[in-house]
Structure 1
Amino acid sequence: MIDRDRALSLPFAPLTFEVERGRLRAFARSTGETDPIYRDVDAARAAGHPDVPVPPTFFFTMGLERDEPLGYLGELGVDLRFVLHGEQAFDYRQVAYAGDTLVLEDRITDVYDKRGGAMEFIVKETAFHRADTLVATAKSVLVVRHHEAAA
């Protein structure tokens, strides 16, 4: 079982992320996004944007840039073989664009269990800042299955 107090106090170093046009184009292509504003700077500008905007779910990929994006789970004694991605939600405050420098700040905000400890849930929130401005937040929930606790 995960030590909740330890998880809630686990430190995460801020991560600086440079938003690149090429990566935004590749992401749009890989997700089937057809709106040209996510691929072409001229189309983005014609639509009133200063540059190619960040597609909505691209924020999830930014956190994967850490050297060990799931390393915190190992620190908590979680066996990755029993982890599922349970939920993802975003709250957008401003549009981010190619050329922006964003700083990601992660923290675990909750750990709880269900079914008598057979499943534990780790809630992690990420704030995305451009300078001193909050651009977006993300909330992800990971599910850890404990087969030994299953009824």
Structure 2
Amino acid sequence: MSLQVNMFDPKFVGHSFPTKTVKVEEGKLRFFSKTIGETNPIYFDKDAARKAGYRSLLVPPTYPFSLTLESESLEEKYVPVGMDLGKLLHGAQKFEYFKEICAEDTVTIDAKIIDIFQKKGGALDFLIEEQTLRNSDGDLLATLTQTFIMRH
């Protein structure tokens, strides 16, 4: 058990989290697509996706973030680096895509803390995390960068 310190310690810059592997499940993908109001058949119909040149159902643009949440809980991952989930704000998120992700793909997720800093005289702590997603061949699929803010 780790001590919750209620601030991000700069010593964690460069900290890599354990690698996680997830499978893109067709049912979850369809549910997500429906939930966000997607109507394009490439997200629901395998034949339509194949006719459009994809191997299977295509993952919508923000779905990779959902994959990162499937691999572990926020508490397991972030409390050991000083995050107080009760004081957490979501600051920003950026996605870069390199190859498509489709249903039934196996995705490996590597995450590391790339920066920690304070603003407003220490009233706000910022933690920036970068996650890379790769397929089973090791090809880079996407990079997700997210900023967490912890208020004091």
Give the aligned CA root-mean-square deviation in angstroms: 1.3
Unaligned segments of structure 2, at least 5 residues: 1-6
Structure with more relative contact order (C-alpha pairs < 8 Å, separation 6 or more): 2
The amino acid across from 2:111 in the alignment is D
2:65 corresponding residue in structure 1: 60
Is residue 142 of structure 2 the alignment partner of residue 133 of structure 1? no
> Structure 1 residue aligned with 2:150, among 135, 144, 147?
144
Q: Percent identity?
A: 38
Contact 1:126 1:138 in 2 (8 A): yes
Is residue 15 of structure 2 the alignment partner of residue 10 of structure 1? yes
Contact 2:22 2:71 in 1 (8 A): no
Contact 1:63 1:69 in 2 (8 A): no
TM-score by length of 2: 0.90
Query: Aligned residues, how many?
Result: 145
Is residue 134 of structure 2 the alignment partner of residue 109 of structure 1? no
Q: Secondary structure at the match of 2:56?
A: coil
Q: Secondary structure at the match of 1:132?
A: coil
Cα deviation 1:10-58 (Å, max 9, x = unaligned): 3411111111211111110011111111011011112121211111100
TM-score by length of 1: 0.90
Alpha-carbon distance in structure 2 between the residues aligned to 1:4 and 1:71:
19
The amino acid across from 1:135 in the alignment is L
Q: Which runs of 4+ in 1 moved over 2 A?
A: 66-73
2:28 corresponding residue in structure 1: 23
